[in-house]
Amino acid sequence: MISFLGFLLRLAFWLLVAPLLPGIINKVKAWVAGRRGPPTLQLYYDLAKLWRKGVVLSTLASPGFVAGPAVAWVALISAAMLMPLGAAGGALSFRGDVLLLIYLLALARFCTAWAAMETGSAFEGMGAAREVSYAVLSEAALFAAVLALGIHTGSVSLVTMLSPMAGAGALLLAAGLFTVLLAENCRVPFDDPNTHLELTMIHEVMVLDHSGPPLAVILHGASVKLLLFTLLLVQAVLPMGGLSSAGAAGALAAGVLGVTVAVGLVESLMARLAFRRVPLLLTTAFLFCLFALLMAWKGGA
């Protein structure tokens, strides 16, 4: 078990560093387009502004409209505290913690969709339906990736499981997890976080009626989820076992930066897919992770 100070430092890391990733992605997109773009710290400014604003509530909304984002944020922070930070390890670690992490991510999605439907808007219900429909396939790919890592290491603890696979298995796992990262975080080609076209909005339509601190909680939770999946991808495929603590921390930071830049490049160079093509791409991600699972199984045998 880590000390209380170590727990607070890890909590501060997730609270303070996570909003930096969307700013880096926006800077990469602006650079590719030849624009100056918003400041890298723009999300920090937005969060500070939203915390000072009031909350507008629908007359149809129950207390769940506010409780949903709060519970989702707590679930995401709890899942983040389970994720190891390289050689520093995780704030909470025990046998089977990977299963709790997956359930916490599912709880956060459920609460976000629940809060979206509290206003009685068919438009937000449409976005929630699309969100959970995509989740069926993305969670299947995530389960296959977790099984591959579990079979490869013979463990169900994240600290031990995040040991890189070798050869083609690592490439397959990286491709599958990167696709899951894009889907789970509502990025292009699955969704466009900056779109305002009503017929194509998925995640954004679910938060249209939120304002003030609840919207700040949703935006911060989304950045935490992005950092969580980025760390999962980097630690699953990047070998850092032979490095010193400082070297491992540097390699982890470089890996996170590389994945973040890659997300920005994907959003700059690809268009959003039509709805009917999304299941095909998610199925491909599942097959990547499934083949990585089979390679880990045969390699262990």
pLDDT in tens, 29-61: 999 999 999 999 999 999 999 999 999 988 888
How much is the pTM? 0.96
Calpha distance 127→139 (Å, rounded): 18
Handedness of CA 262, 267, 269, 270 (dihedral sign): positive
- Residue-wise DSSP of 212-259: HHHHHHHHHHHHHHHHHHHHHHHHHHS--TTS-HHHHHHHHHHHHHHH
Residue among 195, 184, 297, 223 at smallest CA distance from 18: 223
Identify the domain containing residue 256 by its residue range: 4-300
pLDDT of residue 257: 98
Phi, psi of 282 (to 5 degrees): -70, -35
Residue 201 has pLDDT above 80, yes or no: no
pLDDT of residue 291: 96
Residue 61, CA distances (Å) to 57, 72, 125, 210 in order = 7, 17, 14, 11
Lowest average pLDDT, out of 133-142, 163-172, 214-223, 275-284, goes to 163-172
For 10-56, what is the HEC assignment?
HHHHHHHHCCHHHHHHHHHHHHHHCCCCCCCCHHHHHHHHHHCCCCC
Calpha distance 40→24 (Å, rounded): 6
pLDDT of residue 197: 67
Residues 23 and 37 sit within 8 Å (Cβ to Cβ): no
3-state helix, strand, coil in the chain (%, to 5): 70, 0, 30
In the predicted model, what is the mean pLDDT of the chain? 92
* Number of compact structural domains in the chain: 1
Residues 258 and 210 sit within 8 Å (Cβ to Cβ): no
